[in-house]
Amino acid sequence: MAVLENAKLAILDCLGVSVLATTQEIGERLRNFTLAHVGAGPCTIWGTELKAGARDAALLNGTLAHGLDYDDRNHSSTYTLAATFAVAESSLATGRIALEAFIVGREIRASLDRLFSSRNAGIGPGARGWHSNGILGPIAAACAASKILKLETEQTLSAIGLAAGSCGALTRDGGTMAKPFRCGHAAAAGVTAALMAQQGWTSDEEALEGRYGLLEAVGPLSESILDTLGSDLGIEWSLSQELRIKPFASCTATHSGLEAMLRLVQRKQIDPADVEEIECDLKPYPLVRQRPARGFEGRFSMPFCLANAAVYARLAPEDFTDARLAEASIQNIIRRTVHRSGSEILTVTLKNGSKLSEPLQHPSNYCDLAQVSKKFVRSVSGVLSNEHAQSIMGHVAAMEEMSNLRPLTRLLQMN
């Protein structure tokens, strides 16, 4: 039961942040791209009046889902849901099948996560610049799509092989529009692989583990990592564990410092003009935009996030703009923020010499229906009516009872 309920929470959150992304710069860019280059089809582009074919819908919705870095912390819902909904909507699959496919994609991704779980220790492809969404995303999306299309085992293996050949993504992309694009690409690649396999396309059945396959290409990998890959699939369920849904629209690595600053300014009001220096572990890996040139790059900048928290005592999804970045008070604090590697304390030194400190803690998460529902309603409020928002929540809650997804996807169209 926990697996089903958490899957629905992940779906609801992913839909909400996708719709919210349409109201910001990346949504505008994606809309212009769609109007210029995408043909019509049966699948809804969430939060818009636009429709497209399955592969394009997977690309566009997967990109929107990660457009604000506001989705759940390992991002697997983005490409898995975009692929699932695209194939399910175009084929009129039942809600139960779509829910099962979404779970399949998430669990496939989770079973391979050990490839990237030791990156901070310098181990695995993540430590060399590869990013998990682009490596594992196409495979997870292909498996989800294959489930809906009811592919045979041999066809599914072909889809996995085709998807593995389209893998690739760079950690360096963090803070740019290339990062959400890789989630959209993962969704589209997975859908394309499954559709091609359905039509008889083949690939190497050992594209992952065979000589010169994906695991060797992103290696070397220790036996201790290789032995864990897929070993708990269908035995241990990732979705049975508490979800880690973000309360802030920025990279997870910013959240401990950000929340420490918010606690500090709630405890004692600070005049930004009085700040002499802020010391914090700025997480230069993976936060590769320490001095952002654009507002949206601030999602991967601890100094930018700390500055917003210090000046405004908040950090909202709409705060990552060029205008906010250009503010004198924000720039002043960014310049006064210094890196203290490994520090577990945020320290603010004022011009009178006094110091204010706050320990870093594990970042908080939204875990239950009330929190996720509140975030969803807030996210879609500028695009969808409250009536539609409530109806969407009801449909997601009863997704396994739906004969097809179109009553739900119609509600996701801009109104």
**314-342 average pLDDT score:** 97
Structure confidence at residue 146 (pLDDT):
98
Residue 402: which pLDDT band, with cuts at 50, 70 and 90?
very high
Based on the number of CB atoms within 10 Å of its own CB, is 86 exposed (0-12), middle (13-18) or buried (19 or more)? buried
Structure confidence at residue 415 (pLDDT):
75
Examine the pLDDT at 1 and tell me if it is beyond 90: no
Examine the pLDDT at 325 and tell me if it is beyond 80: yes
**Cβ-Cβ contacts under 8 Å for 98 (sequence gap 6 or more):** 84, 85, 88, 148, 399, 405
Q: Looking at the structure, do residues 333 and 373 belong to the same domain, yes or no? A: no
Tokens of 225: 């990592």
Cβ-contact 277, 336 below 8 angstroms: yes
Calpha distance 244→125 (Å, rounded) = 23
Q: Looking at the structure, do residues 90 and 122 belong to the same domain, yes or no? A: yes
Examine the pLDDT at 140 and tell me if it is beyond 90: yes
**Residue 243 maps to which CATH number?**
1.10.4100.10
- Tens-digit pLDDT profile for residues 154-194: 999 999 999 999 999 899 999 999 999 999 999 999 999 99
Q: What are residue 37's phi and psi, to 5 degrees?
A: -130, -5
Calpha distance 23→11 (Å, rounded) = 20
Structure confidence at residue 119 (pLDDT):
82
Domain boundary among 336, 359, 382: 359
Query: Terminal CA-to-CA distance of the chain, rounded, Å?
Result: 34
Structure confidence at residue 122 (pLDDT):
81
Q: Looking at the structure, do residues 48 and 94 belong to the same domain, yes or no? A: yes
Q: Looking at the structure, do residues 24 and 102 belong to the same domain, yes or no? A: yes
Cβ-contact 192, 55 below 8 angstroms: yes
Domain of 305 in residue numbering reads as: 252-359
Domain boundary among 324, 340, 359: 359
Residue 324: which pLDDT band, with cuts at 50, 70 and 90?
very high
Structure confidence at residue 41 (pLDDT):
97
**209-237 average pLDDT score:** 92
**Residue 309 maps to which CATH number?**
3.30.1330.120
- Tens-digit pLDDT profile for residues 30-66: 999 999 999 999 999 999 999 999 999 999 999 999 9
Cα 184 vs. chain centroid, distance in angstroms?
10
Calpha distance 410→390 (Å, rounded) = 13
The number of beta carbons lying within 10 Å of the beta carbon of residue 235 is 7
Q: Is 355 helix (H, G, I), strand (E, B) or coil?
A: strand
Q: Looking at the structure, do residues 340 and 397 belong to the same domain, yes or no? A: no
Q: Looking at the structure, do residues 156 and 204 belong to the same domain, yes or no? A: yes
Structure confidence at residue 67 (pLDDT):
98
Domain count, the chain: 2
Cα 179 vs. chain centroid, distance in angstroms?
9
Examine the pLDDT at 9 and tell me if it is beyond 90: yes
Tokens of 287: 């936060």
**119-140 average pLDDT score:** 91
Structure confidence at residue 118 (pLDDT):
82
Q: What are residue 280's phi and psi, to 5 degrees?
A: -165, 155
What percent of the chain shows pLDDT beyond 70?
100
Q: Looking at the structure, do residues 102 and 242 belong to the same domain, yes or no? A: yes
Q: Looking at the structure, do residues 242 and 258 belong to the same domain, yes or no? A: no
Domain boundary among 359, 380, 399: 359
Q: Measured between alpha carbons, how far is residue 70 from residues 61, 242, 274, 286, 379 in Å?
A: 14, 17, 32, 16, 10
Residue 338: which pLDDT band, with cuts at 50, 70 and 90?
very high
- Tens-digit pLDDT profile for residues 253-264: 999 999 999 999
Q: Looking at the structure, do residues 352 and 376 belong to the same domain, yes or no? A: no
Q: Measured between alpha carbons, how far is residue 180 from residues 16, 21, 46, 59 in Å?
A: 16, 11, 15, 10
Cβ-contact 12, 376 below 8 angstroms: yes
Tokens of 248: 């802030």
Mean pLDDT over the full length of the chain: 96
For residue 104, the number of C-alpha atoms closer than 13 Å in the C-beta half-sphere is 19
Cβ-contact 63, 34 below 8 angstroms: no
Which ranges in 165-316 belong to alpha helices (H)?
178-198, 214-217, 223-226, 255-267, 302-312
Q: Looking at the structure, do residues 154 and 179 belong to the same domain, yes or no? A: yes
Q: Is 217 helix (H, G, I), strand (E, B) or coil?
A: helix
Query: 348: closest CA among 271, 411, 247, 237?
Result: 271
Which ranges in 239-367 belong to alpha helices (H)?
255-267, 302-312, 322-326, 328-335
Q: Looking at the structure, do residues 234 and 264 belong to the same domain, yes or no? A: no
Q: Looking at the structure, do residues 185 and 317 belong to the same domain, yes or no? A: no
